[in-house]
Amino acid sequence: MGLFLHIFWTSVVPILALVAVGFILDKKFNLDLRSLSKLNFFILLPAYVFRSLYTAHLTLESVGISVCAFIILFSNSYMALGVSKFMGYDRKKAQIVRNATMFNNGGNIGIAIATFVFSNEPYIVNGQTPYLDVAIVGVIATFIIQTIFCNTLGFYQAGSGLLTRHDALKLVFHMPVLYAAPLALLARLIPYDLTSLVLWSPLNIFANAFVGMAMITLGVQMSRTPYNFFKKDVIVTTSLRLIGGPLLASFVMLLYIVFYEPVNPISAQAVIITYSVPSAVNTALIAFEMKNNPEFATQIVMSTTILSAVTMPLAILFAYYMFPV
């Protein structure tokens, strides 16, 4: 019960509070959602991605975890496509289900949950937290894969049901975030600390603003979205993200360990926990930007966020017993 309450108060409530701010502001002032979306995708998100990838603490094991995260990501994609075909969704709707299943909020909730879990019993040894750094590296390695593909492939998938392949690719290549990720990874190779540059300060300010502004933008979308979280399509996609995601992650990690190379069990647990978090807020923002079922995408994000307070503790326990230390 303590774990459930902690997850709810420290991860779910802050998100709902920020969403509520956007909801209330839009009801009172009728905010320009298109302008908010442009601000997020053309300024704040590129800054957030660049800073996250440039400052991430990576180790050699990060490579193996990233490979697993890549396999899990596309396993989720095929799972979503299979279920979408079974449910009879058209191509546009199937791509929204695909994005919501593939891409999660690991950068925010994932890191916060991993920090809490691996800083408490039964992971404390002689008053120390020896597993915390390993867990965070696992989360960050997964987050990097998520970030790169969500903000490139995610746009392409959301647009592929509406645009030709050429037009969808053209749109993706016009998004600044596409270039933020490789630039950050290349910048890590430069023998100079970019954080000492005067331009790092405004970039840091923009990066810090992204999460709050993204949640407020989601709240604005929510104020214009019919409430029907119990709609069958929402329930199906929510189940894929919160139940199918961690189960698939554990299966891939197990296969990787058995047939390729051993992985630190803490890293394996961290990956499973990361794939148990809600759908990424960006999936709803991308759906709005691409004009592809934005109401459906918004409902999925809110549904997975609220219900994750119940499913994440179960995923944490599952990971603990699946890959014991």
pTM for the full model? Answer: 0.84
Q: What value does the mean pLDDT of the chain take? A: 88
pLDDT at 215: 84
Structural domains of the chain, ranges and CATH numbers in brackets: 2-322 (1.20.1530.20)
Is residue 142 pLDDT above 70, yes or no? Answer: yes
Looking at the predicted structure, is the pLDDT value of residue 1 above 70? no
Task: State residue 12's pLDDT score.
Answer: 73
Highest mean pLDDT (candidates 42-51, 63-72, 93-102, 154-163):
93-102
The pLDDT-based confidence of 108 (bands split at 50, 70, 90) is: low
Phi and psi at 225, nearest 5°, equal -110, 130
For the ranges 100-109, 182-191, 236-245, the one whose mean pLDDT is highest: 236-245
Question: What is the average per-residue pLDDT within 117-143?
Answer: 83
| Residues 6 or more apart whose Cβ sits within 8 Å of residue 126 | none
Task: Give the pLDDT confidence of 240-281 residue by residue, as tens digits.
Answer: 999 999 999 999 999 999 888 888 899 999 999 999 999 988
Helices 232-239 and 60-87 pack at an angle, to 10 degrees, of 150
For the chain, give the percent of residues with pLDDT over 70: 97
